[in-house]
Amino acid sequence: MKNLAMDLPGLNLKNPIMPASGCFGFGREYSEFYDLGELGAVIMKAATGSERFGNNTPRVAETSSGMLNAIGLQNPGVEKIIETEVPFLESFNVPIIANVAGSTVEEYIAVAETFNQTDKVNALELNISCPNVKEGGIQFGTDPDMAANVTRLVKQVSNLPVYVKLSPNVSDIVAMAKAVEVAGADGLSMINTLSGMQIHLPSKRPLLANKTGGLSGAAIKPVAIRMIYEVKQQVSIPIIGMGGITSAEDVLEFLLAGASAVAVGTANFHNPFICPELIEALPEVLYKYGFSSVEAAIGKGVPSYG
């Protein structure tokens, strides 16, 4: 069998496959389908400083080869997550990544600090790119200076490695990536969802109560690949890639573009077994295209790496 293992800051991954934030809750539901210990890691749903109820419904819409969502960061708040959700995930032998969100820089810092105080999660994913929060989240995600600032402040309060999750809704993804690298990010997660909308013809209004939502799924894969490929040439911190993965071939495509591991979001909804199935299928795909390990494939599609 091919070597699927991969070491990233704070994460000893037995394979490069993890569920993406927000698409897997805190793991409970999918743990009824399979042993979460099979996963490379688990990225938890976004945590905010206090409980959030999120947006009104409808919160999801189907699109061609994708979907829109505007959940609005519904979550019980960081304290409750640490109290009731993290212990459950700890019962599996799997690294835990906490997705950190907020409306203000202070909220990001507070959430990161709270996770840091427990020794129960392995890394933070700084969600500066959620397009569904109005009060500021979107700003951090499109302005390099603000993104760098929040990254720097979070790094100051936390010993945990920080993966900054980038928004694709920007003119210059490389500028964003460089800014957060300089600010101390240990890695990048990319991409979050593209801002989109669907209009419901019978009501003549945006279908989502929040009007806009984040586009995910196979539809956005070419955008994710392009951004990772561009960023890989300009930054040296590792990238967790995501956006439309549905097959082991897709996983390899992300690795070649420069990702060191991948996250799978929307595909869980259609097939709850997608993550273990990808883990099982990956060795053969690596072999078919001439790679002896995950590590050997990383960045091999990128000129300066390949």
Ligand X SMILES: Cc1cc2nc3c(=O)[nH]c(=O)nc-3n(C[C@H](O)[C@H](O)[C@H](O)COP(=O)(O)O)c2cc1C
Catalytic residue numbers, as ranges:
130
**DSSP conformation class of 6:** E
For every residue of 220-283, DSSP letters joined together read GHHHHHHHHHHHHTT--S-EEEESS--SHHHHHHHHHHT-SEEEE-THHHH-TTHHHHHHHHHH
What is the edge-to-edge ordering of all strands in the sheet holding 17-19? 17-19, 261-264, 239-242, 187-190, 162-165, 123-127, 96-100, 42-43
**DSSP conformation class of 52:** B
Write the interaction track for its own copies spanning residues 1-40; mark x where CB under 8 A is met and - where it is not.
Answer: ----------------------------------------
Q: Determine whether the annotation assigns residue 201 to a binding site.
A: no
The residues in 187-216 that bind ligand X, with binding defined as CB under 6 A, are 192-193, 216
Site for its own copies contains 105 (CB under 8 A): no
Site for ligand X contains 165 (CB under 6 A): yes
Window contacting its own copies (CB under 8 A); options: 24-32, 78-86, 149-157, 164-172 = 164-172
Is residue 180 packed enough to be buried (19+ CB in 10 Å), middle (13-18) or exposed (0-12)?
buried
For every residue of 117-167, DSSP letters joined together read HSS--SEEEEETT-TT-TTTHHHHHH-HHHHHHHHHHHHHH--S-EEEE--
Longest Cα–Cα distance in the chain: 54
For the bound state, the minimum distance from the C-beta of residue 290 to ligand X, rounded and expressed in Å, comes to 26
Contacts of 268 (CB under 8 A, 6+ apart): 19, 23, 24, 30, 274, 275
For the bound state, the minimum distance from the C-beta of residue 121 to another protein, rounded and expressed in Å, comes to 19
Total length of the chain? 306
Write the interaction track for another protein spanning residues 39-78; mark x where CB under 8 A is met and - where it is not.
Answer: ------x-----x-xx--xxxxxxx-xxx-x-x--x-x--
Instruction: State how far the alpha carbon of 89 is from the alpha carbons of 59, 98, 115, 153, 199, in Å.
Output: 26, 11, 14, 27, 38
Site for ligand X contains 100 (CB under 6 A): no
Q: Determine whether the annotation assigns residue 43 to a binding site.
A: no
Q: Of residues 8, 13, 17, 23, which one binds ligand X by CB under 6 A?
A: 23
Which lies closer to another protein via its Cβ, residue 74 or residue 149? 74
Q: Of residues 10, 22, 131, 161, which one binds ligand X by CB under 6 A?
A: 22
Instruction: State how far the alpha carbon of 154 is from the alpha carbons of 36, 252, 263, in Å.
Output: 29, 32, 23
Write the interaction track for ligand X spanning residues 114-153; mark x where CB under 6 A is met and - where it is not.
Answer: -------------x--x-----------------------
Q: Applying CB under 8 A, which residues contact another protein?
A: 22-25, 28-30, 32-33, 45, 51, 53-54, 57-63, 65-67, 69, 71, 74, 76, 217-218, 266, 268-273
Q: Applying CB under 8 A, which residues contact its own copies?
A: 63-66, 68, 142, 169-172, 194-199, 201-202, 204-206, 211-213, 215, 217-223, 225-226, 229, 244, 249, 252-253, 256-257, 289, 300-301, 306
Q: Applying CB under 6 A, which residues contact ligand X?
A: 20-23, 45-46, 69, 71, 73, 99, 127, 130, 165, 192-193, 216-217, 220, 242-245, 264-267
